[in-house]
Amino acid sequence: MTQTRVPVVLLTGFLGSGKTSLLNRLLRDPALCDSVVIVNEFGEIPLDHLLITQVDENIRLLDTGCVCCTVRGDLIDTLVDLYERRVRGDLAYSRIFIETSGLVDPAPIFHSFAADPLLIDDWRLSAVVTTADLVNGEATLAVHEQARRQIALADLIVLTKSDMATAEQTDGMIAAIGRLNPHAVQMAVNDDELAALLVSDRLSEAVGRTEAMRAEIWNSVEHNHGHEHSQSISSRSFYLDDPVTQASVLQWIELLAALRGEKLLRLKGLIRTVEEPERPMLIQAVQHVLHPVERLEHWPDDEHRSRIVIIGEDLDFDTIERTFRSHVGSNLAIGS
């Protein structure tokens, strides 16, 4: 086994918990800016990779399914290719971030880094980082097994949305985390020590998990991956060529969150508005919570039409489509 194995940071967290925002914050730190990012997304429209402030050369997108199984082979192939390019001198980097879909069970990825002969000589799983949503997190943990496993297998848990959470929500989520994983390090998303902790060896020392112990965790956690998300959780994507008003979009999201919030696991979109067509509006909603609207300085790619992805549990997407057409715009394309 080589002594210069590349460290890998696995970034997990349930849908809408703030993984991409955290990753952007970390990549702005000089100590982490020479990282390669692998993004895995669930949904017909891959959006998250467009919102990562990193050059295209250092982003790899896996958008064909769940990274823990369906595209696990693609992940391994990507890592092998990246290592070969590093050895040839074609691409310089010091570490890899793997941002998983919010529906991923991280345990099989543990297993890959501990046992796959294509990875163990060249790669080292240095940290499993899980984002924890203080607003919706406790309710999510009560319902979704994937969310519980993401917390239970984390070395570092990053608490997000503290500015939106009540004291009761915060206390409840922290208590739930303590029951699932009392040994993990907990930090706030805006903690200046986050990047330094990931670069150093202090995280592994604080948690006390060696690679052998990670292998034991894999073996001790029954991998009952019955694809809950493939049965009851699904996605629908919308495209809209014509610019729309900001007010109409926000009214529609508020209506959707009010009527189906408990089933709305995640909504994210880039919207071309009549007010500022060259500065796309970033919209995000998780369950009943509509996040503050952001304006990007420019479109992140050459496609300047609105695009929205909705991920939900047992949602009536036909009804959602009709409400969109009536409230926002009728010139709508579905998943094309």
Which of helix, strand or coil describes residue 138?
helix
Q: Which amino acid belongs to residue 293? A: V
Q: Is the pLDDT of residue 56 over 90?
A: no
What mean pLDDT is reported for the chain? Answer: 79
Q: Looking at residue 64, what DSSP letter applies?
A: S
Position 312 pLDDT exceeds 90: no
Say whether pLDDT at 63 is over 70: no
Query: For residue 201, what pLDDT band results from cuts at 50, 70 and 90?
Result: low
The pLDDT confidence band at residue 58, using thresholds 50, 70 and 90, is low
Greater confidence (26 vs 204) lies with 26
| CA distance linking residue 298 with residue 280, whole number of Å | 7
Fold for 6-220, please state it: Rossmann fold (3.40.50)
Q: Which tokens sit at 19? A: 């993984």
For residue 267, what is the DSSP state? E
53 pLDDT higher than 70: no
Nearest to 207 by CA among 307, 125, 147: 125
Taking the domains of the chain in order of start, what are their residue ranges?
6-220, 233-334
Above 70 in pLDDT, residue 130?
Answer: yes
The predicted model gives 47-63 an average pLDDT of: 51
Please report, for residues 171, 235, 295, 309, the alpha-carbon distance to residue 306 in angstroms, rounded to integers and kept in the order given: 38, 17, 13, 10
Check pLDDT > 50 for residue 228: no
Model confidence, pTM: 0.73
pLDDT for the residue numbered 290:
82
Alpha helices in the chain (DSSP H): 19-27, 72-88, 107-115, 137-143, 145-152, 167-180, 194-199, 202-207, 211-220, 228-231, 246-260, 317-327
CATH of range 233-334; options 1.10.10.10, 1.10.3720.10, 3.30.1220.10, 3.50.50.60: 3.30.1220.10
Is the model more confident about 312 or about 11?
Answer: 11
